[in-house]
Amino acid sequence: MRLLQLAEKIDSEIDQEFSKDFKRGVGALLQPIRQFVKLSSYTYKLLKKCCGGDRVIDVLFHFPSNLSKRTSDENYFKDGEKLTVVLTVLKHVIPRYRNSPYRIVGQTLAGNIITVMYFHYRAPYLRRILPIGGTFTVSGNASHELDGIKIIHPDIIAHPQQAEHYVGSEPIYPLVGNLSLKTLRYAISSALKLIPKNLDWIPSDLKSKYGLVDFSDALWAVHHPESDKDLLITNEFRKRIAVDEILANQIRLKQIKRNQQRRSAIAIKETGEILRKLQLPFELTEDQVKCLGDIKTDLVSGRPMNRLIQGDVGSGKTITAFLGMLIALENKLQAVLLAPTEILAWQHFETIQRLSKNLNLEVDIMLSSNRKARKRQIRELQDGTTQILIGTHAILEDNVEFRNLGFIVIDEQHKFGVMQRLKLINKSKYPNILSMSATPIPRTLLLGCYGDIDVSTIKTKPKGRQPVETAVIGTNKIESLVERLKTIDSQIFWVCPVIEESESLVDVNTRCEYLKAAFSQEEVEVLHGKMKAYEKDEIMTRFKENKFKLLVSTTVIEVGVDIPNANVMVIEHAERFGLAQLHQLRGRVGRGNESAYCILLYHLPISEVGRKRLQLMKETTDGFLLSEEDLKLRGAGDILGRDQSGFDVLRFSDFSDNYSLVRIADEISNQMDLDSTKTADLCDIFNRVSDENIV
């Protein structure tokens, strides 16, 4: 018995020590990298921008994108390759002219003469690091010249005995600004030393079942690739990181839904007090009626609603959400609609004001660009005067409080980060959340990105809408296109991919000047994201009032803009856009009952993927089909708008080719304790969401 007790005590002490080591390792990974490396403030900012964060784990998660090979074969290397040699310095050659390079001539162990060249130099510094008679390992880009081998600006100067360390493959990382590869590697090598050997959260039996390597081993190995295959997601080490990333997202979603359902809730029943007064100028589609039924069922259940409406452009998601808001208002609750842009917020505000004209509702709009009205708006929210609030990120500020918020609508929800959505949810005692996405989400993404969220789909469009005809033409026909556009009565959108002048892309300002010359100065205006809010509002108002014919814009008009008289959309450099974005832009026309046209204007050369996109756009207007095809062509990251949003689940994963990883992560998450320390560490590392921040 004593022996058994002693064994149990030893096991307990081992477990405690293991737990301490595990936590200590995670704690180090979550610390700022500046605590472990010496960097100037400027370099630190560059590193933070490059790695997407300043924690040790952020540096470790900055994976190599390419491989560079160093050779020691000074007789058979290729020009441009990195050559590593042991060099004895023979002489320094000071340049005669200002723009000439500083030359250091040396001899290798094989007897070859090699010249090391510096174009930007400080002579005293070079004489100190490479003194005459000294022997050094020198490595850098080399080339064969008429007067011998040259190495320009060697990136390595080391002890001669270290030569073998600088031969073979080495990782190349993406950089930003003036950040040097040497500085980044210094930070990464320092971070690698902080990885604990026993850092893992997936039980051994599950790792064996799914063929997963240890997390610590994977994190170290991705920074030591040996071939180009090691840079692919199919590599076992990158696969492990990808699974953990999806796993962290799955756990986070399940925590949010579980804890949201634990919150107090009330049954919200339709009374008809407001809805019977509503006079819609149209009849709801079958899908809208079904979706509204789903919302009513959620509200009356007494459990917090967490539903996503996904629907094609122009399918009527906003109207359906508005009807759900009215049910909440009938129960003396407030409603809020969060939009990603001010243009879209104004669009929703005007739509809801128009629909609620005979309902005597208090509807307000809150924008970052209009702070003069903020005190009044906050007061009227707190005393319950405002019943429906529409706005942008301004709504998320801490001093914005509601009297009785009970219905939350988040439009284009993937453009908001999880913490932003949580801030809004925390403003409500009874959070019923209705998210909307105008980008139809492929079935394969729903599990990985939305977890257990309930989904309603609206496919049918309102009666009277005409399908948009799509044509694909090259820029060699742009003059005849412009002449044809002059003869039509409809207003026109002309979308360009960039704001400022580019070597390979046509920008909005250049195209605007061309079109003003073709039409007239008064008929053409320009719109882009760098303009001030009031300028954009003024231009959109004038366009809506048909004060000018043609609007040259960036993709700032991609979502939500509703101009019934605009029935022509020209998309320049269409081959550069993804299918989902092309479909969104096409959805800006055909909002009325007139025939509408989308012109996809492509520039040569065009890739095979680009050709496939344009052909698909020409063949179908089904957004759901296009979203599935876009997933195959581009991967999930682009569909979800990763580059411009707070939605960060696809940094290492590509669901289009690795849906099996989603399944693996989901099965593992079902067997993990959502409240364990290891689970919290996993979420901290990948999502920066700790337990106390989960709703």
pLDDT tens track for 487-516: 998 999 999 988 887 777 888 999 999 999
pLDDT reading at 224 higher than 80: yes
What's the rounded Cα separation, in Å, for the pair 556 and 587?
A: 14
Average pLDDT, the chain: 82
CATH number of 68-172: 2.40.50.140
pLDDT reading at 4 higher than 70: no
DSSP labels for 642-683? GGGSS--TTSS--TTT-HHHHHHHHHHHTTS-TTSHHHHHHH
What's the rounded Cα separation, in Å, for the pair 12 and 363?
A: 61
User: What's the pLDDT score for residue 678?
Assistant: 85
pLDDT reading at 60 higher than 90: yes
Residues with Cβ within 8 Å of 429's Cβ and at least 6 positions away in sequence, in order, are: 263, 264, 404, 405, 406
DSSP E strand boundaries for 218-330 = 306-311
Range from 94-108, 136-150, 434-448, 468-482 carrying the lowest mean pLDDT = 434-448
Residues with Cβ within 8 Å of 326's Cβ and at least 6 positions away in sequence, in order, are: 274, 275, 278, 359
pLDDT digit string (tens) for 586-622? 888 887 778 899 999 999 888 888 888 899 999 888 7
The number of helices, as runs of H, and strands, as runs of E, in the chain is 23, 21
pLDDT reading at 234 higher than 60: yes
- Asked if residue 323 lies in contact with residue 307, where contact means CB atoms within 8 angstroms, the answer is no
- Asked if residue 450 lies in contact with residue 253, where contact means CB atoms within 8 angstroms, the answer is yes
Domain ranges in the chain? 2-64+191-199, 68-172, 239-260+659-693, 265-458, 468-620
The reply to whether 68-172 and 265-458 are identical in fold is no
Q: How much helix, strand and coil, in percent to the nearest 5, is found in the chain?
A: 45, 20, 40
Question: Of the candidates 491, 462, 475, which has an alpha carbon nearest to the alpha carbon of residue 596?
Answer: 491
Residue 673's pLDDT band (boundaries 50, 70, 90)?
confident
User: What's the pLDDT score for residue 650?
Assistant: 55
What single DSSP character describes residue 141? E
Please give the average per-residue pLDDT across 108-118, as a whole number.
89
User: What's the pLDDT score for residue 477?
Assistant: 92
What's the rounded Cα separation, in Å, for the pair 14 and 593?
A: 73
- Asked if residue 183 lies in contact with residue 39, where contact means CB atoms within 8 angstroms, the answer is yes
Q: Which CATH number fits domain 468-620: 3.30.1490.100, 3.40.50.300, 2.60.40.420, 3.60.10.10?
A: 3.40.50.300
Residues with Cβ within 8 Å of 206's Cβ and at least 6 positions away in sequence, in order, are: 212, 668, 671
Question: Of the candidates 642, 633, 658, 654, which has an alpha carbon nearest to the alpha carbon of residue 576?
Answer: 633
The residue whose two tokens read 């019943």 is 387
DSSP 3-state of 142: strand
Please give the average per-residue pLDDT across 100-129, as a whole number.
88
User: What's the pLDDT score for residue 474?
Assistant: 92
Can you name the CATH fold of 265-458?
A: Rossmann fold (3.40.50)
Question: Of the candidates 331, 324, 299, 329, which has an alpha carbon nearest to the alpha carbon of residue 309?
Answer: 324
Q: Degrees (nearest 5) of the Cα angle 617, 623, 624?
A: 125
DSSP labels for 338-366? E-SSHHHHHHHHHHHHHHTTTTT--EEEE
Percent of the residues in the chain that have a pLDDT greater than 90, as a whole number: 32
CA 486 to chain centroid: 39
Beta bridge partners of 86: 137
CB count within 10 Å of CB 196 equals: 17
Q: Rounded to two decimals, what is the model's pTM?
A: 0.61
DSSP E strand boundaries for 468-620 = 468-474, 491-495, 524-527, 550-553, 566-572, 596-602
